[in-house]
């Protein structure tokens, strides 16, 4: 299957700082990327959908000013958690879809964010 | 509103036996279903999928069954192996939503020796 690389795999930051997480499609061009969040022992919750070159579409309840998403190229999307707080501590996962109309997306390995 | 539900949070199966993981959904607009396997601190790995025009799809040891009238799907793993121990998520998407997936809550499968 296609490869999606997410970096960093884990990060610890202080309250009030911002953290950037990168998601790269290594062997295909990702027209659409998705960002998910998973709390311990819970399901993956979709945060936002981003299409290359356009603004991200956020799910209800997700603060767009807090979770900044940039999809500047067909192989890279970034999620920036701004002014992080301990409650933002979570596991963040990206996925990428290549061909328009493809029904399957490929997932990155996830990023464990801990805000202290 | 949990549109995709996995009512069994955990399942323990002996090696060599069949594992059956269940998933129910409420949104009749879902037309594509997927199963993912996930280890702690890793992203989900795709296992198998099924379109709503089918009722069965098989890939090696993995078979997914879809019962549209009951809004129910199941994943069968046979024979189960210790390496299958992981959390399994079912997911669903609606046509035209660019593969936006709605995930179930997951079932932790433990395959014992």
Chain B nearest C-alpha distance from A82 (Å): 22
Residues of B in contact with A23 (CB under 8 A): none
Give chain B's residues under pLDDT 70.
Answer: 97-98
Mean pLDDT of A22-35: 90
Q: Which chain A residue shows the shortest CA-CA distance from B49? A: A104
**DSSP character string of A79-106:** EEE-S--GGG-EEEEEEEE-STT----E
Non-local (6+) Cβ contacts of B17 within 8 A are B78, B79, B80
What whole-number distance in Å separates Cα of residue B57 and Cα of residue B63? 6
The pLDDT-based confidence of A60 (bands split at 50, 70, 90) is: very high
Q: Which chain A residue shows the shortest CA-CA distance from B99? A: A103
What whole-number distance in Å separates Cα of residue A106 and Cα of residue A5? 10
The pLDDT-based confidence of A85 (bands split at 50, 70, 90) is: very high
What whole-number distance in Å separates Cα of residue B111 and Cα of residue B16? 9
- pLDDT value, residue B96: 72
Q: Which chain A residue shows the shortest CA-CA distance from B31? A: A103
Determine phi and psi for A86, rounding to 5 degrees: -55, -35
- Tell whether A98 lies on the interface with B, counting CB pairs under 8 A: no
Q: Which two tokens stand for residue B90?
A: 């079912």
Distance of CA B57 to the CA centre of its chain: 12
Q: Do B100 and A42 touch (CB under 8 A)?
A: no
Q: What tens digit of pLDDT does each residue of A91-110 get? A: 999 999 876 656 778 899 99
Residues of B in contact with A32 (CB under 8 A): 98-99
């Amino acid at each position: 299957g296609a490869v999606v690389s997410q970096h960093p795999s884990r990060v610890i930051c202080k309250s009030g700082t911002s953290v950037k997480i990168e998601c790269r499609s290594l062997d295909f061009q990702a027209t659409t990327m998705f960002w998910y969040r998973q709390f311990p022992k819970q399901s993956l919750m979709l945060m936002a959908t981003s299409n290359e070159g356009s603004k991200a579409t956020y799910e209800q309840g997700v603060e767009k000013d807090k979770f900044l998403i940039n999809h500047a190229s067909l192989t890279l999307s970034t999620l920036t958690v701004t002014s992080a707080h301990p409650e933002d501590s979570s596991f963040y996962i990206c996925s990428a879809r290549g061909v328009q109309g493809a029904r399957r997306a490929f997932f990155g390995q996830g990023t464990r964010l801990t805000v202290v | 509103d949990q549109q995709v539900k996995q009512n069994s949070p955990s399942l323990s199966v002996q090696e060599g036996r069949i594992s059956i993981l269940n998933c129910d959904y409420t949104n009749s607009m879902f037309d594509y279903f997927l199963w993912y396997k996930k280890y702690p601190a890793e992203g989900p790995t795709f296992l198998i999928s099924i379109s709503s025009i089918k009722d069965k799809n098989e890939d090696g040891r993995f078979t997914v069954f879809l019962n549209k009238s009951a809004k129910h799907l199941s994943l069968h793993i046979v024979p189960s192996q210790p390496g299958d121990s992981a959390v399994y998520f079912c997911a669903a998407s609606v046509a035209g939503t660019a593969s936006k997936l709605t995930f179930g809550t997951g079932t932790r499968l433990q395959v014992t020796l």
